[in-house]
Amino acid sequence: MSSAQGKRSAGMAGRAVWAAVAVLAAASAAMLWARQERGQGATAVLWIDGAEAATFSLAPGREEKADLHEAYGLPMHIEIKDGAIRFYDVACPDQICVATGFISRDGEVAVCMPNRAALTVVDEAG
């Protein structure tokens, strides 16, 4: 008798576990959906000499400034703000890169020919 009782309670515990798993799965699916719906913002790619040197998240609310001299030997700075990215404080003769300003949409480009550097934006959501 005691063994049958043990089996029954084990079965109930099993059902409780499965119910919890189902709830968790539904919750994580809902979170995933919400995340995709809201989007994580775009990604900026830094190109140097035609090669991908770094990527930066342009997630909303993220702010970052970087000096590219230390990492890449380029007399340039980049700023990330409000889901956009730009070159600033760049040592180059034409300043076209700086004049481009912030870019944030899929396919937008900021190029600095003298420094052989470019920023591009990739946004899966378009």
Taking the complex as a whole, the smallest distance from the CB of residue 89 to Zn ion amounts, in Å, to 11
The answer to whether 92 contacts Zn ion (rule: CB under 5 A) is yes
User: Which of residues 90 and 103 has its CB atom nearest to Zn ion in the complex?
Assistant: 90
Round to whole Å and give the CA distance between 36 and 115: 36
Task: Tell me the two tokens of residue 26.
Answer: 């539904």
Q: Which of residues 106-125 bind Zn ion (CB under 5 A)?
A: 112
The answer to whether 48 contacts Zn ion (rule: CB under 5 A) is no
Question: Side-chain half-sphere of 86: how many Cα atoms within 13 Å?
Answer: 13
Task: Tell me the two tokens of residue 13.
Answer: 């515990």
Residues in the chain: 126
User: Which of residues 121 and 123 has its CB atom nearest to Zn ion in the complex?
Assistant: 121
User: Which of residues 46 and 90 has its CB atom nearest to Zn ion in the complex?
Assistant: 90
Q: Hey, which residues does 87 pair with through a beta bridge? A: 78
- Which residues would be at the binding site for Zn ion (CB under 5 A)? 90, 92, 97, 112
